[in-house]
A = this chain, B = another copy of it.
Amino acid sequence: MLPPVHLDSQSQTPLYRQLFEQLRDLIHSGHLARGEKLPATRELAGSLGLNRATVAAAYELLESEGMLKGHVGRGTFVEGASETAGRVDWERAAPAEPVALPTLSLPEGGISFASSRPADDLFPLEEFRRTCREVTEGAGIQSILQLGSPAGYAPLRQWLLRQCEGARETDDILITSGCQQALDLLQRVLIQSGDTVAVEDPVYPGLRNVFASAGARLAGVAVGADGIEMDALEQTLRRERPRAILVSPNFQNPTGATIPLAARHTLIRMAREAGAILIENDIYGPLCYEGDAIPALKELDASGDTVQIGSFSKIAFPGLRVGWIVGPRPLIARLTQAKQWCDLHSDQLSQAVLHRFAESGRLEQHRLNAVKAGRARLSAVLKACRRHLPQGSRWTQPRGGMSLWVRLPEPLDAGELLPRAERAGANYLPGKVFAVSRAQPGALRLSFAGLPPARIEAGLAILGEVFTKELERVRAVRRLDSAPALV
């Protein structure tokens, strides 16, 4: 007698596969014992309302796994679990994520504009070593090596809160394992599946993916020369009523755009009127190369409700995973609770080293060096764009940060051209990596901060040649196409 089987015709899994899996489980669990006779395909198809071929396909799969056996004239019998039976089907148990990043394959020695990370040739290694010695030889080392607090290493938390211009009495701080974990914790605590979150479009894919995989609906708001566009945001707030707005007001990744002061006030007012939580990602803020720094949203927001994310990754050493969230105490308390179940607490050796690096003044000295180098690199990349990119190309004019955003003339497709650029010796990330809902096939991100000016110039010469050649080729084809037909 066959135990009940439940098939779901709405499921993504084909019916024969559902039937196969359920029968296999019944055999594994002993509900169908060795020697037991199964109904004939026609009979089972009738009782389940299936096509006979569907049942036959499931039986064949089971037979191929040695779990069933057909005996001529007698019917189909359970053999039992085979060698490979009961093995976990990992592709099914842990299906791959739908969103995949492009595979880069730049030849050795190539010039990569693909990663928004600091220049490691600028790392102050001697100061770093001295800092490590001071920490490991200091009196606190025993407790640094012991289990710590989910909220973070207390001296670092105090130092950061003192430094944060926008922090007030009602705020607290949580140390996270980098900015990425800050985003993930905010998602866990504030967002429920189905909530709408307003984000910049284009945006850092690590932000988009964290919220998308949590089941949030992402409302992409266009980014212009002055950062997220206020008119578009206002429409989104009115139409979609997002639970949260995430913005990078300074040197946004990938565009490098900065929101001016007046628009920051507007943004704060709009968020408050819409009852949306305003989350400010300011990891590039300290890397201002031109003009004055503009006060952060956290500083400008009189209500104190803005949540601010920061990190050491862009201004010190990204291999040390230390970031933070500053926000109202009840939120930080809840995030700290969530953090405990994610990873207990952030690495304490790195927290202590970065704290010492910061309070000794070495971090500020290094930041000034990085700003000086960044200014030269920004100038080099803008100059090289003018010199090498084909006519009709447009690009942003960042005042800081690590990246700028290029739009190639139509019909060039930056994603299609990437393999050719890599073969020629340089790469970048195509715009589609950063898209929320607006495809920009001609767009690409150039991350310049990790490369010395001469490499920037050489890399753009390579890219410019690839793009220009392709544009000439396409235009030549078009000219041929438009020749009158010979009749």
Contact = CB atoms under 8 A, between A and B. Distances in A.
B30 A86 contact: no
B320 A93 contact: no
**Among A30, A97, A347: residue with most chain B CB under 10 A:** A347
A242 to B, nearest CB: 12
B87 A305 contact: yes
B123 A319 contact: no
Nearest to A213: B341
Interface in A9-31: 24-25, 28-30
Given A275-B86, A347-B350, A331 B94 contact: yes
A342 B344 contact: no
Given A94-B189, A209-B341, A303-B86, A347 B320 contact: yes
A78 to B, nearest CB: 14
A93 B303 CA distance: 16
Interface stretch (A103-111, A175-183, A283-291, A429-437): A175-183
Given A142-B120, A241-B29, A331-B90, A147 B115 contact: yes
Interface in A81-123: 81, 86-88, 90-91, 93-97, 115, 117-118, 120-121, 123
A337 B97 contact: yes
Interface residues of A, number: 86
Contacts of A209: 341
A400 to B, nearest CB: 20
Nearest to A277: B88
A148 interface: yes
A321 B337 contact: no
A52 to B, nearest CB: 27
B303 A87 contact: yes
A45 interface: no
Given A273-B86, A347-B347, A317 B94 contact: no
A189 B88 CA distance: 14
Contacts of A237: 29
A349 interface: yes
